[in-house]
Structure 1
Amino acid sequence: MLLGGDDSVPIPFFEAFQDCKGLTVVQIDAHLDWRDQRNGSGYTFSSTMRRASELPWVKRIVQVGLRGIGGSGRAEFDDAKAWGAKIFTARHVQRHGIESVLGAIEDDGECLMTIDCDGLDPSVIPGVLVPQPGGLSYFDVIDLIRGVAAKSRIVGLDIVEFVPERDVQNLGAIAVARIICNALGCIGRRNV
């Protein structure tokens, strides 16, 4: 489990899972994060999923909650789709529910969940760098974690881009803590 930092922190975290036979990365984020370079660097918060796609042990990427352009554009979106990333916008989740996302998760596989706090609506976690209205609800995230844990084994989890000084009455801190507790419970039940 990895907690804290910006959304470039998961890039080296993904490296720790090279012994997985075929890893599914489930990303919750407001942004696509498929940019190859930003200001001359390929290891930024805009390139997280691009770097994941280059790892030979990553066989599936499922992205959930997207609703902002962020550092990616049409070319990056096309690259993600060409690679085979399954992209579910926040609006899609609102209309079709988390069950529609769970269909993209392999049964009895290995999953790493990477959660950028801006993937949730700012009413849930207001303390983020770039708040975007219309994100996932707290229960969307909990239901996604539970659903993934019921289908596959969660081998890793990170939560990044929480900005405490921008939080409002500790709403985000409480939500992050509860998400972690729920995730640990789901992982523990799966491994019993």
Structure 2
Amino acid sequence: MSLCEHEERFLDSELEPVAPGKARFHIIPAGYEASVSYGGGTFRGPAAILAASRQLELWDGLSDPSRLGLFTHCPVDCDAETAEVLMRIEASVQAALDAAPENPPVPVLLGGEHTVTLGALRALYKRYGSFGVVQFDAHADLRERYDGTPYSHACVMRRALEMGLPLVQVGVRACSEEEVRVRTAHGVTCWDARQLAEHGLPEHILPPDFPSRVYVTFDVDGLDPAVIRATGTPVPGGLGWWDAQHMLRQAVEGRHVLGMDVVELAPDLGDIASDFAAAQLVYNMMGMVQRHAAAKGRV
């Protein structure tokens, strides 16, 4: 596994490189962009997050997740057809899991458009079998096809359902009639933005029978544009920062997090605040996994 000395590492301003087998979190940049339907630029998202991570504090406010070790992979080569890119992402996630077979690391995928999530889900499914998916997003991403392809960013959660993966959605506020029908047919648990605004945060976001093993995928447009504006399709009325943090903690508590991602950042040279917020989001998610694992005696 190449160390990619010429590439930036997550938090490389603060941390010395560690061997893959010594790192609990494996960061995998995957700047794939082919099906964005409005503003572009998500292919630059991973690099912007890595660059912004240089400004993070190691102490995330509650703990220092870097103590478990961070390893940044070479960026996935995304200059290929979608099927090939997804296989490359799958292989990178598999390599992360193989770095410590006795206690597999947590892959942390940085997108790119939301399609990249499918590569991670496939790798984890092959390793673990079924698990639950918790999606933070402005959009349901449950279309059968969009712009002529089943691998559009607008279809990624439909592909997850076809794998038999239970799904919980948080923050959605742009949804087609087709997607409403799919939600009903598959029993998708939904905490839409309007519902949260009108009734407040739920006591629990995961149903009692939700799998103990989960994957968390966070499209940054799930947050309100006041928090992160640099994304291809910013939708008003999204999650605030602290509400999102609260609901992320609910997704992690009592669960074994197999992997996670942050996707759809489309950097704007005049908006470094969005880049930093995305990097902080990635690191905070690591911290939640670290603290919960410590409480369960897994660290």
**TM-score, reference length from structure 2:** 0.58
Q: What SS does the aligned partner of 1:125 have?
A: coil
Task: Give 1:67's aligned residue.
Answer: 173
User: Is the aligned partner of 1:90 residue 2:90?
Assistant: no
User: Is the aligned partner of 1:4 residue 2:111?
Assistant: yes
User: Is the aligned partner of 1:183 residue 2:289?
Assistant: no
Q: What SS does the aligned partner of 1:126 have?
A: coil
- The 2-side partners of 1:162 and 1:17 are apart by 23
- The 2-side partners of 1:116 and 1:189 are apart by 23
Q: What SS does the aligned partner of 1:46 have?
A: helix
Partners of 1:25 and 1:112 within 8 A in 2: yes
Partners of 1:127 and 1:167 within 8 A in 2: no
Task: Give 1:121's aligned residue.
Answer: 224
Percent identity of equivalent pairs: 32
Partners of 1:128 and 1:167 within 8 A in 2: no
Task: Give 2:83's aligned residue.
Answer: none
Q: Please report how far the alpha carbon of residue 108 of structure 1 lies from its aligned counterpart in structure 2 after TM superposition.
A: 7.0
Query: Cα gap change, 1:47/1:98 in structure 2, threshold over 3 Å: closer, same or farther?
Result: same
Query: Cα gap change, 1:47/1:157 in structure 2, threshold over 3 Å: closer, same or farther?
Result: same
- The 2-side partners of 1:107 and 1:66 are apart by 20
Q: Which moved more, 1:45-54 or 1:177-186?
A: 177-186
- The 1-side partners of 2:270 and 2:169 are apart by 25
User: Is the aligned partner of 1:171 residue 2:273?
Assistant: yes
User: Is the aligned partner of 1:39 residue 2:147?
Assistant: yes
Partners of 1:2 and 1:158 within 8 A in 2: yes
Residue 243 (structure 2) aligned to one of 133, 140, 160: 140
Partners of 2:169 and 2:190 within 8 A in 1: yes
Higher relative strand content: 1
Q: Please report how far the alpha carbon of residue 128 of structure 1 lies from its aligned counterpart in structure 2 after TM superposition.
A: 0.7
Partners of 1:62 and 1:85 within 8 A in 2: yes
Partners of 1:106 and 1:152 within 8 A in 2: no
Query: Cα gap change, 1:175/1:101 in structure 2, threshold over 3 Å: closer, same or farther?
Result: farther
Query: Cα gap change, 1:154/1:126 in structure 2, threshold over 3 Å: closer, same or farther?
Result: same
- The 1-side partners of 2:292 and 2:246 are apart by 15
Residue 156 (structure 2) aligned to one of 26, 48, 56: 48
Q: Please report how far the alpha carbon of residue 166 of structure 1 lies from its aligned counterpart in structure 2 after TM superposition.
A: 6.6
Q: Which moved more, 1:98-107 or 1:41-50?
A: 98-107
Residue 136 (structure 2) aligned to one of 25, 28, 33: 28
Q: What SS does the aligned partner of 1:99 have?
A: coil
Deviations 1:66-123 (A, max 9, x none): 1124xxx212210122111111111222233333452436577011111111110000
**TM-score, reference length from structure 1:** 0.88
Partners of 2:212 and 2:256 within 8 A in 1: yes
Deviations 1:5-54 (A, max 9, x none): 01111111110111334311000111111111123311111101100001
Aligned length: 186
Partners of 2:132 and 2:211 within 8 A in 1: no
Q: Please report how far the alpha carbon of residue 175 of structure 1 lies from its aligned counterpart in structure 2 after TM superposition.
A: 1.5
Q: What SS does the aligned partner of 1:66 have?
A: coil
- The 2-side partners of 1:185 and 1:118 are apart by 21
